[in-house]
Amino acid sequence: MGEAADPRDRYVVGVDYGTLSGRALVVRVSDGAEVGTAVHPYRHAVMDTELAADGRALPPDWALQDPDDYRDVLRHAVPAAVAAAGIDPAQVVGIATDFTACTVLPTLADGTPLCELAELRTRPHAYVKLWKHHAAQSHADRINATAAQRGEPWLARYGGKISSEWQFAKGLQLLEEDPEVYHRADRWIEAADWIVWQLCGAETRNVCTAGYKGIRQDGQYPSADYLAALNPDFTGFTAKIDGPLLELGERAGSLTAQAATWTGLPEGIAVAVGNVDAHVTAAAAQAIEPGRLVAIMGTSTCHVVNGEKLAEVPGMCGVVEGGISAGAWGYEAGQSGVGDIFGWFVEHAAPAGYDSHEILSELAAAQPVGAHGLVALDWWNGNRSLLVNHELSGLIVGLTLATRPHEIYRALLESTAYGTRMIMEAFAEAGVPVTELVIAGGLAANSLLMQIYADVTDRPLSLIGSAQGPALGSAIHAAVAAGDYPDVATASAAMGRVERAVFRPDPERARAYDALYTEYRALHDHFGRGGDDMMLRLRAIRNAARGEQA
């Protein structure tokens, strides 16, 4: 950044909407060079205890956002990024966005968020429900039970479970808890698509969120019969989510005059269809080719990989045709706790003098594999991989009076690597071969963790070559929407960045980990596959005990 700009160069802007802020990145179309970036935090951040408008308390597990905070990212981060790049805004030929998902809001037919209507300003259900709004679990339970009972064909495409985070569960909660707002909502739309509407003035829907979050499979949404079985008033729900559907990388429209004013970019440039932060990272990591599994590792891990054919993988989050890129089946899987677990350990289980990732990693790295005698199950935040059960919990076995903090820390790092290996093997067993593991996300910076992943999976680890994977991925899609590349694969090859085989497995360590992984699998199956449902009983006991106290 800050290099001398060539006035002949063409640029695109990628905007990555995260949980707490949005980041804009200016990228050169010819080679993907990242020339300027800026971040703008959301003014209201996440509303999870009270509504900003009137301070009213929100129930447990709620998580709302204010959609105007997203516009503020266009108003502030985009011009700041262009300024930082030192380029002429006229050189920008396209813009694309990616978003957390499923993050969803109710709007009028013209896209106006219901929370922006004066009379609904203090109605929590009129706001954006952020991905981590978890108050629709009972609705998700009914969605799953009814689908299983009726043998709905789409259920297997989601590993047998629809998440409480997704469009249908949140929509059913809206209907049943605030029917007035539900009926006022002409549209129920992913923020990923809403922000594109703000940019180009036209409603579109992207195949990625429609498939993964909106249960759109084989060209159809769940049937009216099925919806009626959930709640007769829910029958018309799909009319609120259906809309002009575009493939990823397609041009949704042209930048409106108003959006040009917000961003300082030229009116009329290409605006790409919406996308999701994890999925768009595959393009940034040159991992569009089938078999290249991208693990985006942060507080949790999201795995995305293209496959050549349709398969049903137990416990996957979903498989969607064109869900990562057109022409392939996009598979998504996830581990619901990764960096969160390491953070928990440092904050709540490491004694003074050991309470930093650096110290723990340094001490842990000095030990040979297995010297701690420990195996853990990485279910501190449940399991959303093969088992899809949020009520599972963490376990450590092998503790002795001689066990020291860095040994437990290492066992936790390893447990998440075993979890990733389980997912890779599940894909392979289902006929979706994984040929390469590419790491993106903040945890890629922990060398010990990366070496453990290489040794546990016994394959070389590639690392994404950008610190701003999602924003770069969006920029790649902007270049395709602008017509500078014929498709996402070609743009990814030119503009994406990956370093191959940065960490290589050591044969001896890999063999040692095979033995520990066998123990992990035994624990996994005993506690997760019906050997003993103790964790579910402990959760029920816990919940009852806490309820009694309240």
Residue 395 sits in the site that holds a copy of itself (CB under 8 A): yes
The residue from 45, 224, 396, 494 that contacts a copy of itself (CB under 8 A) is 396
- Inter-residue long-range contacts of 353-362, CB under 8 Å, 24+ positions, other chains counted: 354/405, 354/406, 357/446, 359/406, 360/405, 360/406, 360/409, 360/410, 361/406, 361/409, 361/446, 361/447, 361/448, 361/449
CA distances from 202 to 111, 175, 187, 190, 277 (A): 9, 26, 13, 14, 22
CB of 5 to a copy of itself, least distance (A): 45
Note whether 254 and 270 are within 8 A (CB): yes
Phi, psi of 293 (to 5 degrees): -90, 125
CB of 542 to a copy of itself, least distance (A): 3
Q: Which residues contact 25 (CB under 8 A, 6 or more apart)?
A: 13, 14, 15, 16, 34, 36, 37, 81, 468, 471, 472, 474, 475
Q: Which two tokens stand for residue 122?
A: 């203090």
**DSSP run (H or E) holding 76:** helix 68-85
Residue 356 sits in the site that holds a copy of itself (CB under 8 A): no
Q: Which two tokens stand for residue 405?
A: 């903090």
Q: Would you give the binding string for a copy of itself spanning residues 513-542, x where CB under 8 A is met?
A: --xx--x--xx--xx----x-xx-xxx-xx
CA 110 to chain centre: 28
CB of 49 to a copy of itself, least distance (A): 16
Residue 512 sits in the site that holds a copy of itself (CB under 8 A): yes
Residue 511 sits in the site that holds a copy of itself (CB under 8 A): no
Residue 132 sits in the site that holds a copy of itself (CB under 8 A): no
CB of 103 to a copy of itself, least distance (A): 21
Note whether 136 and 175 are within 8 A (CB): no
The residue from 86, 160, 398, 460 that contacts a copy of itself (CB under 8 A) is 398
CB of 370 to a copy of itself, least distance (A): 4
Residue 355 sits in the site that holds a copy of itself (CB under 8 A): yes
* Bridge partners (DSSP) listed for residue 354: none
- Give the integer Cα–Cα distance in Å for 205 and 247: 9
Compare residues 239 and 541 and give the one whose CB is closer to a copy of itself.
541
Compare residues 17 and 527 and give the one whose CB is closer to a copy of itself.
527
Site for a copy of itself in 360-389 (CB under 8 A): 367-375, 380-381
CB of 336 to a copy of itself, least distance (A): 10
Residue 298 sits in the site that holds a copy of itself (CB under 8 A): no
**How many residues contact a copy of itself, by CB under 8 A?**
56
CB of 518 to a copy of itself, least distance (A): 9
Stretch that binds a copy of itself, among 61-69, 234-242, 398-406, 473-481 (CB under 8 A): 398-406
CB of 366 to a copy of itself, least distance (A): 9
Q: Which two tokens stand for residue 81?
A: 């990024």
- Give the integer Cα–Cα distance in Å for 323 and 282: 11
The β-bridge relationship of strands 11-17 and 251-254 is unpaired
CB of 547 to a copy of itself, least distance (A): 10
Residue 281 sits in the site that holds a copy of itself (CB under 8 A): no
CB of 453 to a copy of itself, least distance (A): 19
Reference 409, options 451, 358, 334, 454; nearest CA is 358
Residue 338 sits in the site that holds a copy of itself (CB under 8 A): no
Under DSSP, is residue 338 helix (H, G, I), strand (E, B) or coil?
coil
Query: Which positions touch a copy of itself (CB under 8 A)?
Result: 337, 340-341, 344, 347-352, 355, 367-375, 380-381, 393-401, 403-405, 408, 512, 515-516, 519, 522-523, 526-527, 532, 534-535, 537-539, 541-542, 544-546, 548-549
